[in-house]
Amino acid sequence: MEENKKIIFSGIQPSGELTLGNYLGALKNWVKLQDEYDCYFCVVDLHAITVKQKSADLRRRTLEVLAIYIAAGINPEKNTLFIQSHVPAHSEAAWLLTCNSYMGELSRMTQFKDKSKKHGESVPTGLFTYPVLMAADILLYQTDLVPVGVDQKQHLELARDLGGRFNSAYSQTFKIPEPYIPPVGAKIMSLQEPTKKMSKSDENVNGFILIMDPPDVIRRKISRAVTDSIGVVNYTDEQPGIKNLINILSAIKGYTSDEIVAMYKDKGYSEFKNDVAEAIIEELKPLQDKVNEFLKDKKSLETIYKAGADKANYMANKTLRKVQKKIGLIPR
Ligand code: TYM
């Protein structure tokens, strides 16, 4: 913990296998930010259970997500890596913030509206209060910056509102965090429906690339990616499929979209797609090898998440105690 550095908090749900969207929209940027900030990177298992999870799958994926964080290049010695449920303050703070949140503002969350559609009459309450738990995650660490993809921006606004509301109702307690949305890769789209976000919960497996997909699967999914009949590599909303592939290549290689358009000026889609697939494979292959290595060594992972939980509990409890006291709860 470094006193003079600004604080970052972010997390990924172990609710499915992680996608290229999670990698380019979140993880890859965390790696870039880790030297400059004091970072808390959490595996948000309590968020994952807002929809039904098989226990064995949840356990396996929680460890896999932690292994992916480290394999992507996040240094567990310099950053705090932990599992959300190991820090009970998150659940406690979530309740205290729930009592200061409104049905109206939670009903307006677009992710809730989308996800609740699938549940008919039996929408899980956890899906509704999910953003309040996310606000607790962030606010407990006096976070300055939250690096996320575009889809989390509305949740972050809510965290800012809840923090600000508490501060005005009681007194200055929470730092109000800023979002960090990366300039490229913040919204990777489905390969099959490029006007929709790439998502691990997509029923069509050809719509997403998983971080752990083997090379032949990546080649196949990219070659099947929906494009158009225009036949020219251009960065425009009229060609959402091609635009998405340009964004993917740009986020991986660091070329601008103009540079990519110039590179493929007289070339067809198949050469372009081929290069995109190879770039993804080259980026993910070393990461995949490391993940498989780390997963063989459960003891080391345990050491990492236990040390992370110690640090995180210390920080989170400091804020939680202040919150409890201000509300009028009697200290133990
Ligand atoms: P989750 O698990 O859905 O996604 C994790 C991160 O990946 C980003 N992301 C994407 N970025 C670009 N293109 C995509 N297609 C794409 N899909 C996902 C997300 O924006 C996110 O940054 N509620 C959060 C997890 C969370 C959290 C937090 C994040 C819980 N507490 C506190 C930040 C701070 C979520 O469900 O992310």
Cα distance between residue 36 and residue 77, in whole Å: 15
How far, in Å, CA of 323 to CA of 99, rounded? 12
- Is position 318 annotated as part of the catalytic site? no
**Which is the catalytic residue, given 197, 221, 243, 273?**
197
Share of the chain above pLDDT 70, in %: 99
Let me know if 290 is a catalytic residue: no
pLDDT tens string 77-122: 999 999 999 999 999 999 999 999 999 999 999 999 999 998 888 9
Which atom of ligand 1 is the closest one to the Cα of 151?
Answer: 20
Instruction: Find how far residue 143's CA is from the centre of its chain.
Output: 16
Q: Across the beta sheet with 7-12, what order do the strands follow?
A: 80-83, 38-43, 7-12, 145-147, 178-180
Q: Which residue has the tokens 């789209």?
A: 189
112-130 pLDDT tens trace: 999 999 888 899 999 999 9
147 CA distance to ligand 1 middle (Å): 9
Mutate to test the pocket of ligand 1, among 17, 20, 22 (most ligand atoms within 8 A of CB): 22
Residue 320 and residue 88 in contact, taking contact as beta carbons nearer than 8 Å: no
Say yes or no: CB of residue 7 within 6 Å of ligand 1.
no
Rounded Cα distance between 48 and 64, Å, is 14
pLDDT tier, 3 (very low <50, low <70, confident <90, very high otherwise): low
The predicted model gives 280-305 an average pLDDT of 97
Helix axes 215-223, 269-296, angle to 10 degrees: 150
- For 27-48, what is the mean pLDDT? 97
What is the whole-number distance in angstroms between the Cα of residue 270 and the centre of ligand 1? 31
Average pLDDT over residues 212-230: 97
Which of 65, 91, 132, 152 for mutating ligand 1's site (highest number of atoms within 8 Å of CB)?
A: 152
CA distance 285 to 66: 17
Say if ligand 1 is within 6 A of residue 12 CB: yes
Distance from the alpha carbon of residue 120 to the mean position of ligand 1, in angstroms:
24
Q: How far apart are CA 167 and CA 198, in angstroms?
A: 36
Of the pLDDT bands very low, low, confident and very high (cuts 50, 70, 90), residue 163 is very high
Q: Above 70 in pLDDT, residue 303?
A: yes
Judged against a pLDDT cut of 70, whether residue 23 lies above it is answered with: yes
C-alpha to C-alpha distance for 61 and 56, rounded to whole angstroms: 9
DSSP designation for 330: P
Mean pLDDT confidence for 137-153: 97
Q: Report how far apart, in Å, the C-alpha atoms of 57 and of each of 53, 77, 302 are.
A: 7, 27, 18
Query: Ligand 1 pocket, 202 CB below 6 A?
Result: no
Q: Is 118 a catalytic residue?
A: no
* Position in ligand 1 atom list of the atom nearest CA 44: 30
25 lines ligand 1 (CB under 6 A): yes
For the cut 90, the answer to whether the pLDDT of residue 2 exceeds it is: no
Residue 331, pLDDT > 90, answer no
Q: Check 6, 175, 200, 326 and give the catalytic one.
A: 200
- pLDDT bracket for residue 201 (50, 70, 90): confident
**pLDDT beyond 90 at 1:** no
- Whether residue 21 has its Cβ less than 6 Å from ligand 1: yes
Q: d(Cα 44, Cα 65) in Å, to the nearest integer?
A: 10
Kind and range of the H or E run holding 42: strand 38-43
Q: Exposed, middle or buried, 122 (CB in 10 Å: 0-12/13-18/19+)?
A: exposed
Averaged pLDDT score across all residues of the chain: 96
Over residues 60-75, the mean pLDDT reads: 98
Q: Which of the pair, 217 or 119, is modelled with greater confidence?
A: 217
**Strands, DSSP E only, in 162-297?**
178-180
| Ligand 1 geometric centre to CA of 299 (Å) | 27
Is the confidence at residue 264, as pLDDT, over 70? yes
C-alpha to C-alpha distance for 41 and 83, rounded to whole angstroms: 9
Going from the Cα of 27 to the center of ligand 1, the distance in angstroms, rounded, reads 10
Q: Pocket of ligand 1, candidates 27, 40, 41, 44: which has the most ligand atoms within 8 Å of its Cβ, to mutate?
A: 44
Task: Give percent of the chain with pLDDT exceeding 90.
Answer: 95
Residue 313: per-residue pLDDT = 98
